[in-house]
Structure formats: structure tokens, C-alpha cells
Amino acid sequence: MTSLHTTIQPHVRPRASASQRSISSMSRRMKLFRAVFILVFLALGTRLFTLQIKDHSVYAKMSVNQVREPMTTSALRAGIYDRNGEILAVSRPTSLVVADDFQITNPTKEAAAMSPIVGVPVGQLTALLSEKNGHVIINSALDLSDGHKLSVLGFPGVVVQNSSVRSYPNGSLATSVLGGTNAAGAGSAGLEYEYQKLLAGQKGITREFVSSGGVNLPSSHSTVIRKAKPGVGLELTLDTSLQFVTERDLARQLAATGGLTGVAVVMDVKTGEILADASLVNTKTSAGVLGPISAWGKSVGEPGIEQSVNNLAFTQNYEPGSVFKVVTFSAALQAGLITPTTEVTVPNSVVVGGRYFHDAENHGLEHLSATQVLAESSNIGTYEIGLRVGEHGLLSQVQRLGFGQMTAVNFPGESQGLLVDTSNWYTSDEVALPIGQVDAIPPIEVLDAYNSIANDGVFVEPKLVRGYVYANGTVKATPKSATHEVISPSVDQTMNNMLQQVVLDGTGTNAIIPGYSVAGKTGTASMPYPGRDELLTGDYNASFVGFAPANAPVLSMIVVIERPQTTIYGGSAAAPVFQEVMSYALHHYNIPSNGTMQKPLKGAGANIASDVT
């Protein structure tokens, strides 16, 4: 019997082929990729959620800030006016045209279209629009109507902004006082500089969408954050008519004498208001070792005569010479050391502290009254009176009359002067100070001292700004000038009478005004050589200072001409300008003639050349 024998073999797994192994590996990679993709997706989703939802406001603000900028808008600069409302300086509103030339696709075509409006030739405008620097100024002072027309046309990449141009309707008149503005429209000199913040007003702020070049983006809108606030104007104490006459007459005399600079200031005796303030430079005269005098380059109508950049009445020190003798005489009168008739023994010369001093004209031993000493401007006679006053008395009187002190005007660059005091007093100053040789002061301080005598012995601070003019047309007056007594009324009247004799029959006869009594003093002062202990040869400062009508003073005035050449004396170079301007001013303000004048002193009489110090 045959049996079947079945052998059970173990299960053997079939060996996978190469293709099968490849598919398996790919499957694993796909799973891994899906896992990574899911993780990345989740990360991106999380980040996107953070950006779009959680931090949306932060990044939106950052995005906007890349093109949104706070822009300032200039306020219209306020005007400057004279005491009668005449315009001295004004800003005219204009349009500023700026282009982002990266936004301009066809410079030639746009230039042809814009040229008639902006007033720039097509060729030049095409070149500007092709610069590719992102910010090009097309016209900085376009007329407002044209600016509006250009804005309406809406040229891509072209923006019209508010601007202004400063102008001076009276040309160069009073430029040394007014000053000027720079390219940015800010005050650079004079009152324009001193009152910059007030005149400029407050800038406005707008929020705008701009390109990297600073030009507004197309179809963007501006938001006003703060409106521009217009400036506050100035009403000055100056009188345009009197200023013109003062500059004209000073310019003529400066040209006629060949002087280097000229100063003339007219003041209201009671208020201290400066009615005219002229500072001129003769560009035809060489400054020599003194260095150039800065000028505005604006002729005042006389060939070679221009406005000085600085207001020399406040900024330029000079040794005043004989006009400073008011210190010596007023101090002696106040102390009761002399009267107008006190006899003074006057030799021709003296040597004090190793220095030789003399009168301008040679003479033998003289016996003069104190009034004659002043009228004839005797240096040695003044020294003899100064000896009675003494060092302390002289220095105290210098301070009392306002010398060496800043004025309330505080004009830009103003000097308070350079004075001798007890710490640097030399024996020779016993002569030098009484005759005005050692102290250096600005002309305004000399005028202030004589104005005190005109004002019954009361010092009044000078003043240039009369009021503030607001945008709505209202004017707020400035406070009255501060005052204080410097000489007693009785002594002041005596001093007044003695100064009248200077004009009647002394060195100041060229200041006589028919029908009016005039008081004043001449000065012809030597000029020191810069950096040396010696004097310039043949160079002098000629001056005259006084007031009228002397019996009831209304106006005071000083004239200083630096380095006159044809005639060097205060009585012949400066006094004629005083006479011409003061004559006009007295009639201009309808000041009645006093009809009578003091009689000249018996035996008085002086050559105008006798006041040289």
C-alpha cells in the first residue's frame, strides 16, 4: 500500500524587487515631506496670524510711516512799518514749485506744458525734470495765481507749496537799521535778525504722503495738524520822510568831504524815540589800516555811498574828542566848582604823566571864562576845570550820563563802549579823559548824554520800536522809555545856555538855524593807530551833537563823519549836516520858531579849527 508523505515547508517571504524597494522609500519620504510641510504651514500660518491679526496695527503704522511725513508750513513773515504806517519791509505770498523727477515719465512734454506757467524756458525746465535726484526746485517765487493754475492742472510728481518773498518798498532806505533776510527767509542782520522769532510767527504742521525725495505722492491727501500762525509786525519810531532827508544830506556831505563813514541820528527829546538813524559807507574812500567797512551794496543815490551792514550809531566805538567835554563841565557845575563866568587861566600846553597836551591853536597865557573855554573848545582850559573835579568826580559823571552802558534798544552787535576806570587810570588821563581822548564809545551814547541836557537833566532811554502790529491790524504800543535824573534842573539850564554859546559864537556857528535857538558842541578827535600807542596821521572823527529849539528842546541830533579829507573839523564837516537836517525836521513837525536867540558873549569868538583833540 502506497502512502503519501507530505512535507510542510516553512513560509518564505518573497524577496522584493528593486522597483518595489524604490516605491517604499519614496513613500517614506513623502510622509516625511508631508509632515515637514504641515509643520512649515503651521509655522507660516502662525506667523501670518501674528502679522495679520495680532501685530497688524504695528506693521500697518510702520508701513504708512515709510511714506507719511510731518511737514512744516511756513507762516507769512510780518511787516515792518514806520511811525506813520508806511511800509518799510513786507513779505509777499508766493508759490514754491517742487518736482520729484523720478515720477516724470516725459520731461520734454511736461516741460513744454509747464514752461508758460512757471516762467522757466523749455530747455532749462527739461533739464531740471531730467536730473533724477528726486527733489528739484522749479520756481521758488511763483505768482500765487500761476501757482494755483499749476496745482489745478495736476502734473504728476509736481507739487505747489506756500512760500513768500521779502521786499523793501523804499529800496535801500534805512537798510542799516532794518537789516535783511537770508535765503531761508530768516533775519540775518538788523531788526530783521533781532526780532526774528516775532516776525516769523509759528510754523504749521501737516501730515503728508511723500516720496523719498520729499515730494507728495499722487492722489494722496494732507492732514493739517497745526495751522501756521502769522508773525507779529513792528511799528518803528522812524519817520520815512525824515530818514530820507537825513540819508540824503549825510550822503552828500560824505561824498563832498571824502569821509569813510557817516552817522546821523535824530531823537525825540522827551520820548527817546529815534526818528532817523543813518549809517553810510563811502566805497570810494580806502579804509586803510582800519580794514574794510561792510556795506549792503545798495547805493543811496549818491555815487559810491552805500548803506553799512551794521548800524554804526550803536555798533562802532570812537574816541569822541571835544563833544565829551560835556562830562567835565556838567560835573564841575553840579559840584558847584565853577559858574559860567568863573575865570580859568589857560596856558598853551601842559605835560602831564609824561604826555604833551596842547590847544589846537598856539596862544600865550589866556584868562577865559568857563563859558569861553567851552565855546572855544580849549583842551587845556577843560583840563584845568577837570582838575577841580578830580578823578572820582569825572569817572562818576561818565557813568551818570550813561556812557559805557548798553541801551534799552539792544541792537544786534551793539557796543557799550570801552571806558577807563580806577583800575587802569594813568596820570595822563587827568587831561585825556576830560577832553575825550581816552574813552571809546558809540555815537548813540553821546546823543543820549546831550539829550539828557535837552530834557531838563533827565536821561531817557533811546527807542526804535514803537509798537507791535498783529495780523488782525491792531497795534500794541511798547512801554514808555525808562527815565532817571542825571543833572539837577538848575545846573541843566546853565549847561544849556553855555552850549548855546558854542553855536552862537564858538566852534559850532555852522549849526545856526535862522529863527531857532540851537545848543550843541563840536568835536574833532584824533584817531588811534590800531594796535599801536600812536595816532593815525591826518585822520580824525568829526562830530557835532546838539538840540533845538534850545529854549524849549524838541529834537536832538548827532552827526559823525569818520576821516573826512577836504575838511577835518566837526564845525565844518558835521555841523552843516545837523543844520540841514534839523532845519527840515523843525519845519516838518511844525515846531514854531522861538523868535529870539541868546546874544554872543562879549569878546567870544573861535575858529572852527580850535576844537581838535
Q: Which H, E and C letters describe 560-580, residue by residue?
A: EEECCCCCCCHHHHHHHHHHH
Helix-helix angle 443-454:489-505, to 10 degrees: 110
The grid coordinates listed for 288 are 586803510
Count of residues in the chain: 613
Cβ contacts of 58 within 8 Å, gap of 6 or more: none
Burial of 290 (0-12, 13-18, 19+ CB in 10 A): middle
pTM: 0.83
- What is the C-alpha separation between 374 and 384, in angstroms, rounded? 12
Q: For the chain, which residues score pLDDT lower than 50? A: 1-4, 6-7, 67, 603-604
Question: Containing H/E element for 458?
Answer: strand 458-460
- What is the C-alpha separation between 264 and 560, in angstroms, rounded? 7
Strands of 283-325, DSSP E: 295-299, 305-308
Phi, psi of 226, deg, nearest 5: -145, 125
- What is the C-alpha separation between 401 and 484, in angstroms, rounded? 10
Does the CA dihedral 333-337-339-342 come out positive or negative? negative
Question: Which pLDDT score, from 0 to 100, does residue 9 have?
Answer: 53
Q: What is the CA radius of gyration of the chain?
A: 41
Question: Which pLDDT score, from 0 to 100, does residue 13 have?
Answer: 55
- What is the C-alpha separation between 551 and 553, in angstroms, rounded? 6
What are the CA-CA distances from residue 559 to residues 223, 405, 524, 551, 564 (Å)? Answer: 56, 20, 12, 21, 13
**Contact criterion met (CB below 8 Å) for 236 and 86:** no
Question: Which pLDDT score, from 0 to 100, does residue 1 have?
Answer: 44
**Contact criterion met (CB below 8 Å) for 604 and 506:** yes
3-state SS assignment for residue 102: coil
Residue in the block written with cell 525824515: 242
3-state SS assignment for residue 147: helix
- What is the C-alpha separation between 301 and 66, in angstroms, rounded? 56
DSSP string, 341-400: T-EEEE-SEEEETTEEEE-SS----EEEEHHHHHHTT-HHHHHHHHHHHHHHHHHHHHHH
- The amino acid at residue 445 is E
- What is the C-alpha separation between 409 and 160, in angstroms, rounded? 40
Domains (range + CATH), the chain: 240-465+479-611 (3.40.710.10)
- The amino acid at residue 454 is A
CA-wise closest residue to 535 among 447, 612, 601, 448: 612
CA atoms within 13 A of residue 15's CA, in its CB half-sphere: 1
Max CA distance (Å), the chain: 194
- What is the C-alpha separation between 82 and 235, in angstroms, rounded? 6
Question: Which pLDDT score, from 0 to 100, does residue 184 have?
Answer: 83
Helix-helix angle 144-153:107-118, to 10 degrees: 150
Question: Which pLDDT score, from 0 to 100, does residue 11 have?
Answer: 54
- The amino acid at residue 600 is P
Question: Which pLDDT score, from 0 to 100, does residue 582 have?
Answer: 98
- What is the C-alpha separation between 545 and 561, in angstroms, rounded? 12
